Amino acid sequence: MAIVNSVLDLIGHTPLLRLNQLDTGPCELLLKLENQNPGGSIKDRVALAMINEAEQSGALKPGGTIIEATAGNTGLGLALIATQKGYPLILVVPDKMSREKILHLKALGVDIRLTRSDVVKGHPEYYQDYARRLAQDIPGSYYIDQFSNQANPQAHTATTAAELWQQTDGRIDAIVVGVGSGGTLGGLQHFFKSRSPETEFILADPQGSILADIVDHAEPKPPGSWLVEGIGEDFIPPLAQIDGVSRAYRVSDSEAFHTARELLRREGILAGSSTGTLLAAALHYCRAQTEPKRVVTFACDSGNKYLSKMFNDEWLSDQGLGLNHV
C-alpha cells in the first residue's frame, strides 16, 4: 500500500471477507470489514462526507463548532475528522453508549453531553432534540444532523456501494443492513436500483425497534428497549427508504451478542453489537434459502468498543444474558 499523507486518506476501501466457518446454508456470505476504517466503523465514511459538504456549501465556517446527536460511531468519525481539520465538536449521546466509546471521544478532546436513552423523540432530553437546541443556542455552530443530511446516503452510494460492486464483479443477490440514521440502506439502494434492481435488501432490526413492524405490517407497535448500539429506531428515519426492503428479521440482544462472539471465535473477527444483529439476520436468511445466493453484510464497527459489555461475561450476567442464555 502506498504512503498516505493523512489518516483521512485511509477511510474506505475496506476488505470483503468470505465467511467459511459458520453455517451459511447453500449461500456464500460475504462480510464487508468496515471495522477496519481508521475510526473503527462504517461511520467514518459518512462523517467525512458530511463535514466536506458543509465546508463546501459554506454552512460550516472556519473554527465553527460542529454539533451532532449520535449513539457513538458517527461521533467517533466526526471526532477523527474534526480533530484533523481543527473544529471544536460537541456530541450529545444516549447514556447507554459503551464506556470505551466515551473514553475514546474524551481522548480526542470532544465535549460530550450525556442524555437519557429511555425517552422518545419530542422529549427535551431526547438526544436529537437536545443537540438541535444546542445548535440554536451556540453562535457559529453547525448541527450535522446525520438523520436528514443528504451527504450521509450519498457517501454510501459513492463509496460503499461502488466498492461492493467492484469487489463482487457486480454480482450480489442480497444485502443485509441495519438502520440507525438510514444512510447505509438509502445510499446502497440508490446505487443498486439502477445497476442491479433484482438485488434484495434485508433489514436486521433489534427487538424493540419499530422498523421491522413497518416492513411487515406498515404500522409499528409501541417501541421497546434494546442494548445493541447504533441501530434500531423508535421513528422512521427519512433517509432509510424502508419501502425498498423485501423482508425483516427481528434479532434479540442475546442472539446479537452470541452471534458477534461466535464471529470472533470462528472467523477471528472482533466486531460490535450491531454486527451481531446483522450477521444473525444474514444467517437466518441464508439458511432459509433453497438455491445458492451471494449475500453481503457488514462488520459495522470494531468489537474493541464493547469489551466491557458484550465481551464481558460479568456484564452479560448482570443483564440477565449470561452465556447459558445466549
| Rounded distance between C-alpha atoms, residue 184 and residue 164, angstroms | 13
| Rounded distance between C-alpha atoms, residue 69 and residue 62, angstroms | 21
First-to-last CA distance in the chain? 40
- Residue 43 is a catalytic residue: yes
SS3 readout for 122-136 = CCCCCHHHHHHHHHH
CA angle 7, 11, 16 (to 5 degrees): 135
- The count of other CB atoms within 10 Å of the CB of residue 165 is 16
Surface-to-core class of residue 22, CB atoms within 10 Å of its CB (0-12 exposed, 13-18 middle, 19+ buried): middle
Residue in 43, 101, 293, 305 annotated catalytic = 43
Surface-to-core class of residue 316, CB atoms within 10 Å of its CB (0-12 exposed, 13-18 middle, 19+ buried): buried
Catalytic residue positions? 43
